[in-house]
Amino acid sequence: MHLTRMITVVGAHAEGEVGRVITGGVFRPKGSTMFECMVAMERDSSWIRDMLLYDPRGSVNAAVNLITPPIDPRADIGMIVMESDYFVPMSGSNLICTVTVALETGIVPMAGPSTIVRVDTPAGLVEVEADCRDGKCRRITFRNIPSFVMHRDRQVEVDGLGTIRVDVAYGGMIYVIVNAEDLGFKLSRDEGRRLVEIGERIKQASAVQLPSVHPENPGIHTINQTLFAGPLFRDGGVLASKNAVVVSPGRIDRCPCGTGTSARMALLHARGELKVGEAFKHLSIIDTEFQCQILETAEVGGVAAVVPQVSGRAWLTGISNYGIDPEDPFPNGYRLSDTWFR
């Protein structure tokens, strides 16, 4: 065996969503903040993302995360999230996978049944409480960065759909949020391909018609995903809803989506439908769930915001060492439109 660029990756999934975690073979990119590190990695080392996520070593239904030493002195670890089309400031499911991997592989020691892990992300410091028993991380609960509405009750023109009503909100990524019932969706598994096709169109139209820039970090300025929001209902007295997030270049998030959940909670609070401290259960298209609440209100660059708490579980699936044979014709991988869409 003759392989170069050897990288160790621990496989994991959070409530069904695959989030692989790099634990060896990659140094932290240069930068004075984790956001600068993310920008540097996307600019100079995107081959790592391509190698691990594109065919023939990866697949469209995964993300990959790099555990790094933190820059923020308050943090225990740093994290950079690489999705198929974007390096993103924050991802809830990937945070859950990353912290679970860090604890269960010993990168961060378990400190009793309630272990606090502070993660330096490009979006800011995120505090995590891990429920740990018998060497296993049972549940991850994190206090997300402040989340807020960027556009509310706006009209956009979408090819093939005409004029539709949307909202745009930030929860670590920027989401365009659409009422699923308005477009005839029930958010069932058999609607996945159609949700992807429509969701990508909505995202592209909204990105052009509704410029969305973070008020404190102009480097965060792209609508990353489309969130189809199901109707609100009560489950045992707890406010609940189903959702489906379309992840570019075209697939459905298998979990309820942590940053999307945060963005939606900000929107629900702005509408007076979710109170501070009120429990909220967010379901995925495969009926896995995140248990959530708004901890408090906040302000970001003069914009009213909320501080969400999201709780979910992850499971490790294996450990792999990836490399490149010098004679391999696809050292950085490739994408084919049968599964990658574009």
pLDDT reported for residue 178: 98
Which of 91, 241, 262, 284 does the annotation list as catalytic?
91
pLDDT reported for residue 112: 85
pLDDT reported for residue 237: 96
H or E element that contains 47: helix 46-53
DSSP class per residue in 141-163: EEEPPPBEEEEEEEEEEETTTEE
Fold of 148-311: Diaminopimelate Epimerase; Chain A, domain 1 (3.10.310)
Domain with CATH 3.10.310.10 in the chain: 4-143+316-324, 148-311
**4-143+316-324 is classed in which CATH architecture?**
Roll (3.10)
pLDDT reported for residue 81: 98
- Whose structure tokens read 């298998």? 254
Check: CB of residue 102 under 8 Å from CB of residue 117.
yes
Residues of the chain under the 70 pLDDT cut: 342
Nearest to 115 by CA among 71, 162, 77: 77
- Does 91 qualify as catalytic in the annotation? yes
